[in-house]
Amino acid sequence: MEEHKVIADDGRVLWAAELGRGEPLVLCHGGPGLWDMFDGLAELLADRVRVIRWDQRGCGRSDHAGPYAVARTLADLDAVRVHFGLSRVALLGHSWGASVALHYALEHPDRVSSLVYVSGTGLGHDWRDEFRRNLAERLAERGERLPEGGSIGRDAAVRLWTADFADPSTARQRAEELATPWFGVNGEAHAALTAEARTWDEEELVARCRELAVPTLIVDGAADVRPRWAVDSLAEALPDVARVVLPGAGHVPWVESPGSFGWAVLAHLAR
């Protein structure tokens, strides 16, 4: 893996890295306020594509300074594209990163060749209550509970992330792997970007998605605690879309179903 320093248009330094050969695929990590945890995914795809990773502003190995806003995040993603000399790029976004990738495609459809939307939460806000119930129930089944208080440290994050995996026998180990190395959660970035996302208008986004002529693959883990019906309006609006549901996977499907996940993504990118 070759690491890079990407300079954003306001001078902030963003961590990035590349691995593999072939057509470029830029990965957008989840959060908001987390960091790139795509080691396994990059290795899974690098034989066939040039995988480009980056930490969003304030996260992981990038400069820990704001401002934290969706427009700023999209501008940083564009700086990554420019740094690597790409006129058009395929994007894969996971969870919050799926929203980042989608919104970048909506803003710059001429710069996006293909979109992979993994474990996203759709265009609306009604999913949150059901998600919290599902999360609390799964944690209780596994002898865990929701963390209390504001900031989340590593131990609390690991307990929380066990709910993101379908198989309880391996969930703790896999959550530990996600948290290694540990860079800390940027609570300020999380709060600001989550608050902004709550202002998005689903009807307006549906209308914009109907005009998005970018081939899109939606990948869901059937056992994700985030309700998958939340993504239905996005799937129905996009004019060129395929949807794959992986029955043995939760929120991080390339970990629990690597073969099926890799095949689906590479087949989509090869179109």
What are the pLDDT tens digits along the chain (271 aa)? 999 999 999 999 999 999 999 999 999 999 999 999 999 999 999 999 999 999 999 999 999 999 999 999 999 999 999 999 999 999 999 999 999 999 999 999 999 999 999 999 999 999 999 999 999 999 999 888 887 766 789 999 999 999 999 999 999 999 999 999 999 999 999 999 999 999 999 999 999 999 999 999 999 999 999 999 999 999 999 999 999 999 999 999 999 999 999 999 999 999 8
Q: Is residue 136 part of a domain?
A: no
CA distance 249 to 101: 22
Q: Is residue 255 part of a domain?
A: yes
- The CATH number of the domain holding residue 82 is 3.40.50.1820
Q: Is residue 160 part of a domain?
A: no
Q: Is residue 175 part of a domain?
A: no
Determine contact, residues 205/176, Cβ cutoff 8 Å.
Answer: no
Q: Is residue 134 part of a domain?
A: no
Q: Is residue 135 part of a domain?
A: no
Q: How many domains does the chain have?
A: 1
pTM over 0.95: yes
Structural domain that includes position 235: 2-128+187-269
The pair phi, psi for residue 111, each rounded to 5°, is -100, 0
CA distance 214 to 62: 29
Give the pLDDT confidence score for residue 134 in this predicted structure: 97
Q: Is residue 140 part of a domain?
A: no
Q: Please give the torsion angle defined by the CA atoms of residues 212, 215, 216 and 217, in that order, rounded to the nearest 10 degrees.
A: 170
Q: Is residue 137 part of a domain?
A: no
Give the pLDDT confidence score for residue 145 in this predicted structure: 82
